[in-house]
Structure 1
Amino acid sequence: MSKVQRIPVSKWFMVILALLLMPLLVWLGIWQLQRADEKQQLLAQWNNARMDLTVLPEQDVAPAGVALTGHFIRGAVYLLDNRTREGRVGYEVIVPFELAVQQSKTRLVMVNLGWIQGSQYRDQLPSIELPQGEQRVVGRLVTPLPIVQLRADRWQPGGLIRIQQLDMDRLAARHSGLYPAVIRMDKPLLPQLRVGWPVVTMTPQRHIGYAVQWFGLAMVLVTGCGWLLWHQRRAL
């Protein structure tokens, strides 16, 4: 019997399994590095964005900063459901804002006024009293991500409307002349609301840390396989 044939089948299985896992681990490490680069570019874009726009740009330049004058449309207040802060569940309050100076086909823009804590009872919605008269909103434009929803939720025709996703197409169908991005307020207009959103949910440094872990696991497998074959060869 040859030396190769005398190596136990279980050890060959471990070696083959490790060889199959190594490309996956290396790919996961590379993917985490790519995600880190994407997050770094997003942070740079956020930090270098224009902050002096007094009109809505014709093209999407989110996350540019804007300062606009107009008034809130009081017929509909959208409550974006299942928004958590510090372990507490609540809503983000989103209201259509009519511009004092309308631009081409745009006369409305959605404004995210901030987060409000929800009640422990689902049938009790928070009380929102919108400011009246002409207002000045200052914040950043944010383009909502495309949504994936198996079944569309039912929206009430008016008043406090609880929604599960910020569907800009559905909002545009309800509000003519709606701008395709949302303004997130820099400072709260109402005392019970909280503003401030993380630019990224996971920092580039954390992605790099995960990449190091995946590459480390691949290195452990390579080292383990090498040691196993070397030890087996010495034993023969």
Structure 2
Amino acid sequence: MTDQPAKARIPIIPTILVALAVLTMIGLGVWQLQRRAEKEQALALMSNNTRLPAIAFPRFGADLDHYRFRRSSLVCLDTQFVEMVAGKARNGKTGYRAIMACRTGAEGPGAYVDVGVSPSPSLPEWQGGAVQGVIALKPTSQSIWGRMTNGAVVDEPLLIADEPAQGRVPTSPPNISDIPNNHLAYAVQWFFFAAVAVIIYILALRRRNATKAA
């Protein structure tokens, strides 16, 4: 009798696990392509907002893509300091932006106002009043990991005041070109990871079968 070469066998469970991982990565790539299209629509909407007339300041929880970059105004009846964040002034210098919370009615809703930049993290001298400016998003310090583990942060509207508080300079208004749209690059990365995973697994199977045949 002659020896018959052993047939190459594909392990079922590892193959299923790899297939699921590859399908997941492909799915994430497709999702990023969808997000890219959504971001392009949002950027087009916000670009058009810069040419529209002033609008009432939005309530918390509104779809802010329809409000960002539009001019607005409010009356701040009472103020409370919220936080100091790094930022850039309209004159190009960097410093500390002061974010204030405002009471705009007897019971609300409230609003956040950026009252300008100073070179030191000193508390602003500002008691509110009529404010005009541009609608932006309130800065958040939560990391990407924090968003993943604690849930997505709800964006809140912020009015960047044209006239800063005493001793401060106006904060640089938001710029649409600063909003990234990296979803195509992320999609390519996920597709690349899926292809690499398939290649590595095929090479591993060949090596495994060659070892058994030896």
Q: Which amino acid aligns with 2:100?
A: I
Who is 2:171 aligned against? 194
- Alpha-carbon distance in structure 2 between the residues aligned to 1:222 and 1:167: 39
SS of aligned partner of 2:125: coil
Q: Structure 2, unaligned stretches of length 5 or more?
A: 89-93, 141-145, 147-152
Higher relative contact order (CA 8 A, sep 6+): 1
Who is 1:78 aligned against? 81
- Encode CA deviations 1:20-54: one digit per residue, 9 max, x unaligned: 3101111221222233223222211110115322x
- Alpha-carbon deviation of 1:189? 2.0
- 1:93 paired to 2:99: yes
Q: Percent of pairs identical after alignment? A: 19
Who is 1:213 aligned against? 189
TM (norm. structure 1) is 0.53
Confirm or deny: 8 A CA contact 1:95 1:111 kept in the other structure: yes
- 1:65 paired to 2:70: yes
Higher relative helix content:
2
Q: Structure 1, unaligned stretches of length 5 or more?
A: 100-104, 120-125, 149-164, 169-180
- Alpha-carbon distance in structure 1 between the residues aligned to 2:205 and 2:118: 61
Higher relative strand content:
1
Task: Give RMSD over aligned pairs.
Answer: 4.9
SS of aligned partner of 1:51: coil
- 1:203 paired to 2:180: yes
Confirm or deny: 8 A CA contact 1:39 1:200 kept in the other structure: no
- Alpha-carbon deviation of 1:215? 0.2
SS of aligned partner of 2:100: strand
- Encode CA deviations 1:92-135: one digit per residue, 9 max, x unaligned: 42253869xxxxx999865332455765xxxxxx2312388x75
- Alpha-carbon deviation of 1:214? 0.8
- Alpha-carbon distance in structure 1 between the residues aligned to 2:13 and 2:104: 67
Please give the residue correspondences for 1:1-236 in structure 2 after superposition, counting only pairs within 5 Å: 2-4=6-8, 15-49=15-49, 50-53=51-54, 56=56, 61-63=66-68, 65-68=70-73, 72-73=76-77, 75-80=78-83, 83-85=85-87, 92-96=98-102, 110-114=112-116, 119=121, 126-130=122-126, 137-140=132-135, 182-185=158-161, 187=162, 189-190=164-165, 191-192=168-169, 194-197=171-174, 203-204=180-181, 206-229=182-205, 236=213
Size of the aligned set, in residue pairs, is: 184
TM (norm. structure 2) is 0.57
Pair 3,188 (structure 1): closer, same or farther in 2 beyond 3 Å: farther
Q: Which amino acid aligns with 1:113?
A: V
